[in-house]
A and B are shown apart, each in its own frame.
Chain A
C-alpha cells in the first residue's frame, strides 16, 4: 500500500521466463488465488449490493434519502474536505523536509509519520478523549471557553487527520528522495526563487505520487471507523459519519438500509481502486516510454 512507485514498476517489467512453473502447477495456483479472492472479496462485495437492493430500488433510494443518512453523507464529505487538504499540506512539507534536508531528529520524524499505521485506530481516538474530553487535560478550559471538540466535528476531524496522516508523506518521500535536488538547484541557478522552484519544479515532478497519496488519504478519511467512533459520540443526524451510520442502522435491525448506505462506501472504494489502477498504469506507461524510446540512448 505504501510501496513506492519504483516497486510497482518493476513488477510489470520483470521478466517471467526461467521462473515459469509447469502448466498444471500454474493452473492450480491460479485456481486457488481466484477461489480465495472470490470467496473473501468479490462475494462479500456483491452481497453488499444484493442486500442493498433486497427490498427493491425504491427502498434503496429511500434509505439514502433519509435525513439522518443525508446528514451523515454531508458530515463525511465535510470531514474529508478539511482533513485531506490539511494532510496534503503537512504531508508535502514533511516529505520535502525529509528528502531534501539533513537535520537531527530526521529518523524520529520518519518514525512519527509511521505511528498512525502502527497504532490501533481506537487508541488514536482515545488520545483525543484524554486530551480534550470532559475529564481530559484541556477539558475544563474548553468548557469554560464554550469550545466543543469531543463529540463534535473538530474531534472527528482531528481523529481522521491522525489516522490518515501517513498516506501523502509516505507516498512522496521515496519519489522525492530518488529525484534528489538537482532539478531544484538548476531552477535556482536560472533565477527562480524558493517558491517558484517548489511550484514549477518540485510539485510537477511528484504530481502522480501526490495524486495517488491524496486518493488513498481520501478513501481512508471517508471510511475510517474506529478512531471516529471513539470521539464522535454517535449523535444521530449530528456526529454520525457514513461508516458510523452503517453500523447504527445495522444494529437497529434495519439491514436493507444499512447495506444501502454501505453500498455508497463500497462504490467509493471501487472508484478509488479504479483511479488508483489508472494512475499506476499512467506511471508505468511514462516509465516504459522513457525506457523504450528509440531515440534515447
Chain B
C-alpha cells in the first residue's frame, strides 16, 4: 500500500515542526525516518497515523486523500516509543483490544491472539501483565498488538530506543525478518544512523523540519546530497582549503582547485575509510603521526596528525591493522583515495573557519 506526502507542513504555534515535506512509500517497503531530535520525523509519523493533522499539504494513503480521515479509520498499526501498553490488561487482553473494538468473533480473536503470541515468541506469557515483562518482551507485545487487526501499514516511533544495546541488535534483526515474513508496509522513526542503515530499504533524512534526502542506505551513505547528510550518516573529515597557484591547499594537503578562483576557499569532505595508510614512509604522498587508536571490534578508528597540526580520522579493518604492524606514536604515510567537494566560496554553505580545519559532527565508526 502506498503512502504519499505532498508538501506536507505542520506548525505548532510559531514553531514550524515540518515544512513542505514530500515523499512516497511504496507497498511493502521498510522505510526509516532519520534525523536529529527535533528534526520533525516523529511529527511526520504521527501525521501519517492521524494523531496530528497537517497544517498544510496533502496526505494520501493508497491514492485516497486522508487529511480528514480519523485515526480510527486509517487502518494503521502504531508502536509508541514507550510502548504504551495497557497496564491494567494482560498481554492477551492487550493484543485482543483492537480486535474486540472491531467486533471480531470471540473464537477468531482467541485464534488470532494465539497465532501472534506464537509468531512473536510470547508463548505462555498471555496472562502476564506488562510490568511482569522484560523490555524486549514488552516491545514485542506492542508490535503484536499493533499488528493484530491486520493494519495496512505499521508505524513505529523509535522502536529500539528503550532497550539495551544487545537486545536492540536482536530486535533489529527480528524486525527485518518480521517485515520479510509479513510484508506489511513499515515506517519507523530513529535518530540512530547505524540502525537506519542496517534495517531499512530506504531512508528519509530530516533536519529542522525539512527533508534533506531520500534514498537507499547505500545511496545516502555514498552519495549524500549535501553536507548535513554526509555528516549525519557516518563520520566525515571536512577541510577548508585556500586556492593558490591552481591548487587548493591546507597545510601540506593539496587538491585540485575545482574551478575555484585564485585566493578563494573550497570545502571538501572525505570518509575515514578513504584514508589509506602505510607503515612505509615512502609509499604515499603525505606524512603523519598516529596519535590515537580506538579499537571498535572488527574495525579500528585511527587519529592522524600531520606535521602542520591537522587532525584526520581514518578507519581500517583489524586484519589490515595487524598487517601494518603500527602502534600509537608511529610515523606513517597516507593518501586520500576519494573525497567530495562540499562547497565553493560564494555558495550559501561556505563559512569562515580559521584554526579548526577538521570538523567531525557525527560520532561513530
SS class of chain A's interface: helix, strand, loop or mixed?
A: helix
Name the distance in Å between B48's Cβ and chain A's nearest Cβ.
11
Tell me, in angstroms, the Cα distance from A185 to B78 when the chains sit together. Answer: 9
**A281 interface hit (Cβ, 8 Å):** no
Chain A residues, CB < 8 A from B134: 295-297
Contact partner of A189 (CB less than 8 A), chosen from B77, B88, B89, B102, is B77
Considering the chains assembled together, what is the distance between the CA atoms of A192 and B73 in angstroms?
10
Number of A-B contacts (CB under 8 A): 71
Which of B82, B101, B135 is A191 in contact with, Cβ under 8 Å?
B101
CB contacts under 8 Å to B, within A189-203, are: 189-193, 196, 200-201
What chain A residues lie within 8 Å of B78 (beta carbons)? 185-186, 189
The residue on B at minimum CB distance from A293 is: B132
Given contacts A185-B51, A189-B77, A192-B72, contact A204 B88 (CB under 8 A): yes
CB distance B149 to A201 under 8 Å? Answer: no
Pick the residue among A190, A204, A207, A290 that contacts B131 (CB under 8 A).
A290
Kindly state the separation between the CA atoms of A249 and B186 in the bound complex, as whole angstroms: 75
Check B88 against A205 for contact (C-beta < 8 Å). yes
Residues of chain A within 8 A of B133, CB atoms compared: 295-296
Contact of B271 with A by CB under 8 A: no
Q: Are B86 and A193 in contact (CB under 8 A)?
A: no
- In Å, the complex CA distance between A18 and B164 comes to 32
Chain B residues whose C-beta falls within 8 Å of the C-beta of A188 in the assembled complex: 51, 71-72
Bin the interface of chain A by size.
Answer: 20 to 34
C-beta contact mask, A285-296 vs B, less than 8 Å → 1, else 0? Answer: 000011001011
Using a CB-CB cutoff of 8 Å, which residues 52-96 of chain B contact chain A?
71-72, 76-78, 80, 82, 84-89
Q: List the A side residues contacting B50 at CB < 8 Å.
A: 189
B86 pairs with A293, CB closer than 8 A: no
Is A144 part of the binding interface, using a Cβ–Cβ cutoff of 8 Å? no
Per the bound structure, the CA–CA distance linking A200 and B98 in Å amounts to: 12
A186 touches B135 (CB 8 A): no
Q: Is B145 an interface residue (CB 8 A)?
A: yes
The answer on a CB contact under 8 Å between A185 and B80 is yes
Closest residue of chain A to B84 (Cβ to Cβ) is A182
> Within 8 Å CB of A293, what residues of B?
131-132
Q: Is A183 interfacial (CB 8 A cutoff)?
A: yes
Residues in B neighbouring A187, C-beta threshold 8 A:
86, 97
A207 engages B101 (CB within 8 Å): no
On whether the beta carbons of A183 and B84 are closer than 8 Å, the reply is yes
Cα–Cα, bound, A22→B109 (Å): 62
Query: In the bound complex, do residue B80 and residue A297 qualify as a contact, i.e. CB atoms below 8 Å apart?
Result: no
B146 within 8 A of A: yes
B-to-A contact residues, CB < 8 Å: 49-51, 71-72, 76-78, 80, 82, 84-89, 97-98, 101-102, 131-135, 145-146, 149, 163-164
* 9 closest residue pairs by CB, A with B: A190-B98, A182-B84, A290-B131, A189-B78, A186-B84, A204-B88, A191-B101, A297-B135, A191-B72
Can you offer 24 A-B residue contacts whose CB atoms are under 8 A?
A182-B82, A183-B85, A183-B86, A185-B78, A186-B80, A186-B84, A187-B86, A188-B51, A188-B72, A189-B50, A190-B145, A191-B98, A191-B102, A191-B149, A192-B101, A201-B86, A204-B89, A205-B87, A207-B88, A293-B131, A295-B133, A296-B131, A296-B132, A296-B134
